[in-house]
Each structure stands twice: as structure tokens, then as C-alpha cells.
Amino acid sequence: MTTSKMTKIEKLTELFRQFPGIGPRQAQRFVYFLLSMRSEDLSELSETIGSLSKEVSQCSSCFRFFPAVENRYKCEICSDTSRDNSLLFIVAKDVDLESVEKSRTYGGLYFVTGGTLPLNEKNPDNKIRLKNLIDRTNTESQNLREIILGFNLNAEGEHTSSYIEEKIGPIAAKKGIKISFLARGLSTGAELEYADSTTLKNALKNRT
Amino acid sequence: MTTSKMTKIEKLTELFRQFPGIGPRQAQRFVYFLLSMRSEDLSELSETIGSLSKEVSQCSSCFRFFPAVENRYKCEICSDTSRDNSLLFIVAKDVDLESVEKSRTYGGLYFVTGGTLPLNEKNPDNKIRLKNLIDRTNTESQNLREIILGFNLNAEGEHTSSYIEEKIGPIAAKKGIKISFLARGLSTGAELEYADSTTLKNALKNRT
Amino acid sequence: MTTSKMTKIEKLTELFRQFPGIGPRQAQRFVYFLLSMRSEDLSELSETIGSLSKEVSQCSSCFRFFPAVENRYKCEICSDTSRDNSLLFIVAKDVDLESVEKSRTYGGLYFVTGGTLPLNEKNPDNKIRLKNLIDRTNTESQNLREIILGFNLNAEGEHTSSYIEEKIGPIAAKKGIKISFLARGLSTGAELEYADSTTLKNALKNRT
Amino acid sequence: MTTSKMTKIEKLTELFRQFPGIGPRQAQRFVYFLLSMRSEDLSELSETIGSLSKEVSQCSSCFRFFPAVENRYKCEICSDTSRDNSLLFIVAKDVDLESVEKSRTYGGLYFVTGGTLPLNEKNPDNKIRLKNLIDRTNTESQNLREIILGFNLNAEGEHTSSYIEEKIGPIAAKKGIKISFLARGLSTGAELEYADSTTLKNALKNRT
């Protein structure tokens, strides 16, 4: 770069670097890509981004994002009375929810925590909307029979799972709600030769 | 290459190309590696390979390979009376058995089929030692209570699993032996966002 | 997705998919990343993108992009009288120019064609600003002694190189300007074992 | 593994682990692959390896390996009087020589050093057959006009190049033999955007 004060190109490069999975080189490519776009396409992108927070709402019930509609506070899933309200599936992120919906294997409701807990997190409750989750567990209709904890099977996911189980366990117990966990075992395509010991152990222990 | 008739280097390169996972370039590298070895190391390798079939036996009971000992027909696992003979774990290959042993989560016996069934296999029974497996199921002590089918979770593995279940199902039923399958679900490190639909379905269906 | 009409989320996902190197999954991630941003950061990104074309100019001399300054039509490099104006380095893209500048091995001037020529391009001249390049070659001060063609060493880059050489060759010859090409040979880290025949040939032919 | 003393399987696994690029898992696979081979194929492999050192000679002139023929001490290349004996190409390994031959761009003679010099090598001269190279430079017919140093363009290769240049430089100078180096620059497929500074510098400096 040839000027000392920060240019728009540099600034935008830096903003793109914060995008998930984007390094300095690709960030710069993005900027030159935008510079090569027609002016009206650039405006469209700018406006779509600018209006995003106005035109997307966050569901007051499950906290996922959905297209904003005036006077509507719940997303399509939470508003859909045909879904099974005896089941509540707790996931970390919107993309996890999308992934489960796409598999067409679940007809219950969801709660999105917005993230998982790093092992040394100082403020765990905020990171995972614990207060909202407790509220929901308390006020949920008595139809709720089972809460499914659906976090990734890595250290952070398992830590989050344990933490939530500990916090909502007593409330759930009092209301007769079961807390369950996604099954562990061999996933599609798994090969015994390359499976780790924990996966083999779970696959054997939970054999059917 | 500069001669038209096949040289030792070319011949050995070709033999190494048949090794699992080895392309022409690495095969050639192996040959030059051998050429750079001391003569006595080369002899040792040659002799170890030459004597392999004499010094390794195949277990008459589970069909895995084990170090040959005169007048011994069963491997250490099959000879070990402290192992749980109510369980028989059927795997495709020695490396699968090694992988399960290494996980230290199983104390029963094994049967190695020697392979899996391609979907259009003409002679399926030979490929998986079906006659030996049926013999073993028939003659096994009445302690045997469960046969665990442990094939890879891919098309060939699942086909093999179904085929064996169909063939030994009636015998097992008559003798009160349960046929079970390794659990399916999320494996260590799995992320919901990237999990395939079948894995998500199994993880939900088998939740605990 | 659960609504039939196109949502902002879907629209933005589609816009991001057009970014270089971005697939559907990462495009969706970008959108959820934006949704998780604070409102003011989102506005900043939107505004930076929206004002990009106003705040970035294209140099009237070399055609690279540079931070817009009122009444300034040339970039810092073209305005820098200490640079060697006997050399003109022709590159396809701004990032190529940045890459050469970062190597600190060149002190002359540049011309950015804006792209390379696909082999069957119908309108080649527009794609590479040929008219501008010819104008520049014609009007350039008589100090210009050498035009360096610096395109990528792939089919499209070499085709572009030949095409430009053919088009500006006669003008250059008349004005006594040499046309030169970046050296070909082994690049840093190259291994003879894996080098392609053309590279080996160049490395031998141009040996020093 | 289930026995404490080292078995043939373990021993052979260990021997294969020493092969270039082979880890413990693939080494074990190789052994099971051999165990699954027919006895006569196993014998053929063992014999081919065992007879390798008898049936392959090392050229007394260039030190590459070639198929042994009684009373023949030079390889086909060194015996070929139609090759240009004014050029001597020094390479580290047989595979480098094969790579150059395959490119059909060189018609001179070779010398194979057998390796490159690690930066802190205590006995550099043995590692690269320096004595043999000096002997050859001294006794070579007066036709020899140029020695080409052709090592990989990495730290070890460049160190080897400098070391040899220093050692044979005086002899070469006395005999009027030029020492040359493979050209450095952009290799086939190179892109300016991703080229390192040294490569760009060489590509510019050596432009033609």
C-alpha cells in the first residue's frame, strides 16, 4: 500500500477480514471484485446489507432470525401449530437448525442459544441465553415432555451441554420433562479402521 | 527409461504400484530407497517378506493372522479363556479388529470375514467366509448370546451386513442368539451444521 | 428455507455467492455473521460499500484503483516523478501490481489491462484496454525504452501476452521500445523431480 | 498388538515405516496386503527385492543406477557417444535425472551426487561424492566446457550448489570450464498474485 492514512480499500479489506474464514488475500480480492461491479449492483449490495437488521427479525420464542413481518414476533416454525410442542430441540446456531430442518427428521420446536461456551467463559449465561431458556422452560405449556440437547460433539459443545443440563435439570425434573442427548455412534461413511476409541466405545455400548 | 526390455527397477516399481495407496511416483521412490539401503538391510527385508507366509498363521477360529507357533491353530484372542464367549463381533478385516482392540472397549470374541461384498458380487459367500461363519454359529458353545455385525457404514458395508443377517438370522433365531448392530449417530467431533441427513436422523431417533 | 418468496437472507446469500471463491455454505455463514453484528458495525459496512465507487478513483494513466482525491486523476505511482519512466510493466489486475510493489524489485511504471483474454474472446480489445494501451504507447514521453509483459504463465496469460505483443509490436518497433517478458525457470522451492517439462526446458535454456 | 515379543508382522511393519512417506498405519496396511497375496506373488516380490543389488549396477561415471550387464560399468547415457560431452549436469538424485531425461531438453552427460547437504552437515564431502566429482572434473576429456548445477531451489539445494561451486570453481576455472545454474523465474502455471518476492525479483531481473 502506498498511502499512510487508511484508504477505503484498506478499510473495506479489514472489514471483510472479519468475515468467517476470510484471510487478508481473499479480503482484498473481495474489494477488487466490488470495484469491478456495476454501480447499481454495488448499491443493491450496500442497501441489502444496510436494511438487513430492519428486514430480519429475531423470533421471540426460539431466537432464530426470520424475515420481518409487521406485528409478527414469532418465526414460521414457532407459529406453526401443527408442529409437535412436546419436543424442544436446543441448538447453538441458526445453521444447525437449518441443517436439522433440511434432514426432515424432526417435527418439534427449537431454541437457539446463539453460541456455545468456551471452557473458561466468565459470563456463561449471557453467551447461551440461559435466562431466556429457563424462562421458556418455566412458562412452556405443560405439553413439553422432552428437551433435546443438540450441540457439536467437541469440547466446547460438550461443555455447553453439561452446563445447560446442570442449570435446567432441576426445573425440568420438577415439571417431569426429560432431558435427552443426540445419539453417539458411527456416522454415515464411518470406517472402523479409522474410528477413534470414543466413537467405537459409543458404537458398541449403544448397539441395537 | 532407457532400455526396452523390462528392468528389475521397472519390475519392482510395478510390484510396489500394487501396494494399497501407492502411485507410480512413490513406487519409483521406494525402489531408489531400496537401492540406497545397505546390502544386509535389503536381505533382511527380502527374507522377512519371503518368510511371511511361513511365520504367520491364520487363526482356525476367527481367521485373523497371528505369529505362527508350532501346533497352535488359534490366535491369542481365541485361545484366551478369560474373554467373554457370549459375544461374537464380526468384522471385515484384521485392521478393524486391531482398531477395536486398541479402543479397549470390547472383551468378547471375533470373526474376520476377510472382506465386504461389492453390490453385484457373483460369489458372495466365498468373499466373506460365509460357510465358516455358519459353521461357527452352529458349533459355537451354547454360551454365545449375541452376534455383533461391525461393518463400515458405507454402501458395501451395509450390503454385507444385510446379507449376513439374512443368512445367519434363522440359525441364530433357533439358538436364541441376538443379532445386533453398532450404534449410529454423531461421532466424536461431529458438527450439526455439516452432518448428513441420515446421521442426523439416526442421532435423533436413537437419542438417549 | 421456510418461505416461498425470496427473503433478505436468501437474497444476501445469493449476492455473497457471487463473491470470488465463495460457495453457498460460506455465503450463508456470511449472512448469519452479519446478523450477529452490532447495528452500527453493519451500517459502517453498508456505507463503506455504498461509498466505494465515490471514494475510489481509477487512475487515468495506469487504470489501477486509488483513493479518490478531488482534482487528482493519477495514482500515487503514476504521479511519483522519482519512478523510472523508461519502464512500463503491463499486468492484468490490481492485485498483480500490488504483488510486484510488495516485492520491492521494480521502480518503473505500470499499466493495468483489467483482465486477460479467454482463448475464444469475441471482443478482445475491450477486455484488455488495448486502445488505452496503444494511446499510452504512442503518447508516452520518449523516455520509454521497454514494455514488460507480465501475465500469468497459463494459457490465458500467454494468449494475452502474444496478442498484445502483436498489436503494439509495430508501434514499439517504430519508437525503438523493446518488448520484454518475465523470465521463465524454476521458482522458489521448485524441485526437479516434480518440475514439468516446459519449466525444465526453460530452466536449462535460460541458465546463467 | 497382543504378544510381547516382536512378531514378523510387527517387524515388517517397522521395515515399511522406513520407506519414504509411509506412516505406521499405511505400513500395517502393506503387511496385511502382503498376507492377502498368493504365495507365489509373495515369493516373486521377495526375490526381486533380494536380487536387486545384484541385478542393478551403479554407473562408475555418473553414479546413477542401471540394469546390471556383465563387464559393463557405465550406464547407457554415459556409454552413448552421441551425447554432448561438453556439458555435465550435476543433480542430487536419480529421480531428478529421470525427470530431466523425460523432458527431452538435454543431450549432455550427468553426475549424480546421491543427495544434498543439510545446512550443518559435519561430513559434507561424503554426502555428495565430492571426491568423485573432483576426479571427474580433473580427468574429463578437454571437451567439457560447462558444468550445470541443478539442485532444488530450497535452502538445502542452494547450500549444496554454493558448496560445490566453491569446491570445484578453481579447478573449473583453470580448465576453462564454465559453471552455470538453472534459470530462475516463473514456472509453468505461475500467477503473479501468488508469486513470492524472490521469484518475482528473478523473473524481472532475468527478463528476456
User: pLDDT tens across B153-171, in order?
Assistant: 999 999 999 999 999 999 9
Among the listed residues B54, B55, B79, the one whose alpha carbon sits nearest the alpha carbon of residue D6: B55
Are A197 and B104 in contact, with CB atoms under 8 Å apart? Answer: yes
Q: What integer is the mean pLDDT of B38-53?
A: 92
Beta bridge partners of A88: A109, A147
Are D117 and D156 in contact, with CB atoms under 8 Å apart? Answer: yes
Interface contact C127, partner A, CB < 8 A: no
A-interface mutation test, from C45, C64, C78, C97, most A Cβ less than 10 A away: C45
Chain C: closest CA distance from residue A27 (Å): 10
User: pLDDT category, A132, cuts 50, 70, 90?
Assistant: very high
Could you give the CA distance from residue D119 to residue B50 in angstroms, rounded to a whole number? Answer: 40
Chain C: closest CA distance from residue D74 (Å): 23
CB atoms within 10 A of CB A65: 21
Instruction: Give the closest of C30, C39, C52 to A12, CB-based.
Output: C52
Residues of A in contact with C44 (CB under 8 A): 15
DSSP three-state, residue D50: helix
Helix ranges (DSSP H) in chain C: 8-17, 24-35, 39-50, 52-55, 76-79, 94-102, 124-127, 130-139, 155-174, 197-205
User: pLDDT category, C69, cuts 50, 70, 90?
Assistant: confident
Per-residue pLDDT, D5? 54
pLDDT averaged over chain D? 92
pLDDT digits (tens, 9 = 90+) for C94-107: 999 999 999 999 99
DSSP three-state, residue C77: helix
Q: Does pTM top 0.90 for this prediction? A: no
Among the listed residues A152, A61, A71, the one whose alpha carbon sits nearest the alpha carbon of residue A109: A61
Per-residue pLDDT, A163? 97
With pLDDT > 70 as the criterion, what percentage of chain A qualifies?
A: 97
Residues of D in contact with B49 (CB under 8 A): 12, 34, 42, 45-46, 49
CB atoms within 10 A of CB A195: 25
With pLDDT > 70 as the criterion, what percentage of chain B qualifies?
A: 97
pLDDT digits (tens, 9 = 90+) for D9-41: 889 999 999 999 999 989 999 999 999 888 889
Q: What integer is the mean pLDDT of D152-168?
A: 96
Phi, psi of B59 (to 5 degrees): -60, 130
Side-chain half-sphere CA neighbours of B195 within 13 A: 37
Interface contact B155, partner A, CB < 8 A: no
pLDDT digits (tens, 9 = 90+) for D120-134: 888 898 899 999 999
Say which amino acid occupies B171.
I
Per-residue pLDDT, A93? 94
> What single DSSP character describes residue B208?
-
Q: Provide the total of helices (H) and of strands (E) in chain D, helices listed first.
A: 10, 6
Interface contact B109, partner A, CB < 8 A: no
User: pLDDT category, D69, cuts 50, 70, 90?
Assistant: confident
Are A199 and B185 in contact, with CB atoms under 8 Å apart? Answer: no
Strands C146-149 and C84-91: parallel
DSSP three-state, residue C52: helix
With pLDDT > 70 as the criterion, what percentage of chain C qualifies?
A: 97
Instruction: Give the closest of A33, A66, A94 to C32, CB-based.
Output: A94
Q: Which domains does chain B have, with CATH numbers?
A: 8-42 (1.10.8.420), 83-181 (3.40.1360.10)
Beta bridge partners of B147: B88, B179
Are B134 and B102 in contact, with CB atoms under 8 Å apart? Answer: no
Could you give the CA distance from residue D64 to residue D75 in angstroms, rounded to a whole number? Answer: 8
Interface contact B101, partner D, CB < 8 A: yes
User: pLDDT category, A122, cuts 50, 70, 90?
Assistant: confident
User: pLDDT category, A2, cuts 50, 70, 90?
Assistant: very low
Instruction: Give the closest of A104, A150, A204 to B105, CB-based.
Output: A204
Interface contact C53, partner D, CB < 8 A: no
Strands B56-58 and B65-67: antiparallel
Chain C: closest CA distance from residue A46 (Å): 5
Interface subset of C 168-187, CB within 8 angstroms of A: none
Q: Which chains touch D (3 or more CB pairs under 8 A)?
A: B, C
User: pLDDT category, B4, cuts 50, 70, 90?
Assistant: very low
Residue carrying C-alpha cell 436494511: A51
Q: State the DSSP H helix or E strand holding residue A58, giving kind and residue range, or none if neither.
A: strand A56-58
Strands C56-58 and B146-149: unpaired
Residues of A in contact with C56 (CB under 8 A): 7-9, 35
Chain B: closest CA distance from residue A103 (Å): 4
User: With an 8 Å Cβ cutoff, are A95 and B196 in contact?
Assistant: no
Cβ-based neighbours of C160, under 8 Å, separated by 6 or more: C92, C113, C116, C117, C128, C151
Q: At what angle do helices D8-17 and B39-50 cross, to 10 degrees?
A: 140
Interface contact D76, partner B, CB < 8 A: yes
Helix ranges (DSSP H) in A83-154: 94-102, 124-127, 130-139
- Burial of D16 (C-beta count, 10 Å sphere; 0-12/13-18/19+): buried
- Burial of C81 (C-beta count, 10 Å sphere; 0-12/13-18/19+): exposed
Among the listed residues C144, C156, C164, C176, the one whose alpha carbon sits nearest the alpha carbon of residue C61: C144
Chain A: closest CA distance from residue B47 (Å): 29
Q: What integer is the mean pLDDT of B85-96?
A: 96
Chain B: closest CA distance from residue A9 (Å): 33
Per-residue pLDDT, B1? 42
Interface contact B56, partner D, CB < 8 A: yes
Residue B67 pLDDT greater than 90, yes or no: no
Could you give the CA distance from residue C81 to residue C79 in angstroms, rounded to a whole number? Answer: 6
- Residue B16 grid cell: 510396489
pLDDT digits (tens, 9 = 90+) for B92-118: 999 999 999 999 999 999 999 999 999
Q: What integer is the mean pLDDT of B16-30?
A: 93
Among the listed residues B52, C14, C41, the one whose alpha carbon sits nearest the alpha carbon of residue D30: B52
Interface contact D119, partner B, CB < 8 A: no
Interface contact C199, partner D, CB < 8 A: yes
Interface contact D122, partner B, CB < 8 A: no
Largest CA distance in chain B: 68
User: With an 8 Å Cβ cutoff, are C188 and D194 in contact?
Assistant: no
User: With an 8 Å Cβ cutoff, are A182 and B196 in contact?
Assistant: no
Of all residues in chain A, the one with the smallest CA distance to B105 is A201
Are A92 and A152 in contact, with CB atoms under 8 Å apart? Answer: yes
Per-residue pLDDT, A9? 87
Of all residues in chain A, the one with the smallest CA distance to C76 is A2
pLDDT averaged over chain C? 92
User: With an 8 Å Cβ cutoff, are B42 and D49 in contact?
Assistant: yes
Interface contact A42, partner C, CB < 8 A: yes
User: With an 8 Å Cβ cutoff, are C48 and A12 in contact?
Assistant: yes
Cβ-based neighbours of C108, under 8 Å, separated by 6 or more: C83, C84, C85, C86, C87, C88, C89, C148
pLDDT digits (tens, 9 = 90+) for A148-195: 999 999 999 999 999 999 999 999 999 999 999 999 999 999 999 999
Interface contact C20, partner A, CB < 8 A: yes
Chain A: closest CA distance from residue B116 (Å): 12
